[in-house]
Amino acid sequence: MSLPHITLKRGKDKRVLNGHDWVFSNEIESMIGAPGVGDWVEVRRNDTKLIGFGFYHPHALIAVRILTRSKPPEDAELFASRIRSAVGFREKLFPGAGAVRLIHGESDGMPGLIVDRIGNWLTVQVNAAGFEKRLDLITELLQDIVKPEGILFRNDSYQRTLEELPEYVRSVPEAEEVGFEIQESGLTYKVDLIGGQKTGFYIDQRENRRFFRDLVTEGDKVYDGFCNDGGFAMNAALAGGEVMAADISAPALARAKENAVLNGLDGKITFMEGDLMKHPELIGAGGPYDVINLDPPNFARNKKSAIPALKGYIKLHGMAIKALKEGGILCTASCSHHIREDRFLDTVMEAAQKRNRKAVILHRAFQPADHPILAAMPETGYLKFMVFRIM
């Protein structure tokens, strides 16, 4: 099979040769052929030696997403092999899990493709034009290999705009609502795949929610900011805490309240609707608290927004520290790969210093093993979860 091929500029191939799977548009020196959006291309070094094969996009900053470096691609064979490998790995690590990420983009050799299994359904998010072009094949392979009850396509993410892809949500079979219960760490959650955040459930915080439970002791006053479906709040309540949980989203709070009732914890959690981003003074309302958790949405979608995002974290952390008792626990998370861990840590330190407090690191974590990080691509690592004792 003869494919169009691109040649990289001199000195621009080192990162890709080291395992990074993106070629940026400003790194291309020349092209032979006229590939369209989502077509296969060969990627070559400046000396024309072959690097690999990937999906091309003529109008995106990420011009090529490399999928294989070994042989010319055959779509069905390549994708089936990658899907089976990724699914088998998750079945080994997370047998019986109520919710698990089956395919995590570049880290599973499927750049721009996210697949979660939540209950007996799959939620699929396509952020690359190459996979959008082959979505029928991907759907067929997922149905054959995973055999789900249904597939929900949550193709409404910001990342799709970067590939000039339309936003939509649809399901196979067609359904107006997709809701059911799942189990996680001894708690029952009612999930709403269409109305919920991200792909329907925050799977990446699974282990951090369970860790949070062990930070709370009987009688502790706990504040859970940006509580969403109530995962951290319920774990705190299960440990004996008296919890205040806040979120801007009325639908999310409704699900959180329903989850609390479902687990017999509604008497231990008070819910509050409020915009903690615009009104950070709401953080810690009703304090002082023994434990505070902050799990805000993505502050920084791109590099340009990283600096204002860091300022936002300083404000949030400052209000949380102000509301914590001496020796209290602060848990905080960032879900943007544009915010480095050291810069995130600095926001807690600066907030503490401004209030003449000291922050002592107790625990650091990142995304779980079903959200693996490709070592050569720091962009695949996004979640930071840090725990501090505030003196």
d(CA 155, CA 160): 8
> For the packed helices 135-145 and 75-93, what is the interaxial angle rounded to 10 degrees?
40
Active-site residue, selected from the candidate residues 28, 316, 335, 339:
335
Could you tell me if 232 and 209 are in contact, meaning their C-beta atoms sit under 8 angstroms apart?
yes
| Residue at token pair 């439970």 | 213
Could you tell me if 60 and 162 are in contact, meaning their C-beta atoms sit under 8 angstroms apart?
yes
Could you tell me if 148 and 142 are in contact, meaning their C-beta atoms sit under 8 angstroms apart?
yes
C-alpha distances (whole Å) from 108 to each of 103, 113, 190, 248 are 6, 9, 29, 34
- Strand segments (E) across 110-156: 113-118, 121-126, 150-155
335 is catalytic: yes
In sequence order, the 6+-apart residues with CB closer than 8 A to the CB of 267 are: none
Q: Which of 297, 309, 390 is nearest to 351 (CA)?
A: 390
Give catalytic residues, as residue numbers. Answer: 335
